[in-house]
């Protein structure tokens, strides 16, 4: 394997890790919603229009396992849970901005608006 191929393989490996974390229809929208501030479950459900409660709680668990978000329990009646981005989650800001920038460009090219 020559040097160029080695660089290519390394890039593939790193890219695959990122795709594992952000894959699927819901994780990036959840992270985008949390860039607007800490949110409760119900607020996230309202922000992400057609996500089911089951899917939202499943994806929140995966994001927590990957240390992208964290949960804080409030000892109220009933108990309330608030989600927020960890420093690792906040470090995705530039990536999210790039996804948005390219998305605007893509929409202009493909659907002309």
Separation of alpha carbons 84 and 81, rounded Å: 10
Which of 58, 66, 112 lies closest to 92, judged by CA? 66
Which residue in 2, 3, 12, 78 binds a second copy (CB under 8 A)? 12
Size of the site for a second copy (CB under 8 A): 45
- Sequence length of the chain is 113
Distances (CA, A) of 85 to 50, 75, 92: 22, 21, 10
**Judged by CB under 8 A, does residue 91 bind a second copy?**
yes
Taking the alpha carbons at both ends of the chain, their separation in whole angstroms is 44
Instruction: Tell me if 107 contacts a second copy by CB under 8 A.
Output: yes
Shortest gap between Cβ of 60 and a second copy (angstroms)? 16
Considering only 3, 49, 54, 77, the residue that binds a second copy (CB under 8 A) is 49
Range in contact with a second copy (rule: CB under 8 A) among 56-64, 73-81, 88-96: 88-96
Q: Is the dihedral of CA 17, 55, 35, 95 positive or negative?
A: positive
Interface positions with a second copy (CB under 8 A): 4-5, 8-9, 11-12, 14-19, 21-25, 28-29, 32-33, 36, 47-49, 66-67, 88, 91-92, 94-96, 98-107, 109-110
């Amino acid at each position: 394997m020559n040097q160029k191929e080695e660089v290519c393989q390394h890039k593939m490996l790193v890219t695959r890790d990122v795709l594992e974390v952000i894959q699927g229809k819901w994780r990036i929208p959840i992270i985008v919603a949390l860039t607007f501030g800490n949110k409760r479950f119900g607020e996230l459900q309202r922000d992400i229009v057609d996500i089911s409660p089951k899917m939202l709680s499943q994806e929140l668990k995966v994001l927590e396992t990957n240390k992208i978000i964290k949960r804080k329990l409030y000892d109220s009646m009933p108990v309330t849970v608030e989600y927020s981005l960890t420093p690792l989650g906040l470090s995705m800001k530039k990536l999210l901005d790039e996804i948005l920038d390219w998305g605007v460009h893509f929409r202009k090219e493909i659907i002309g608006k």
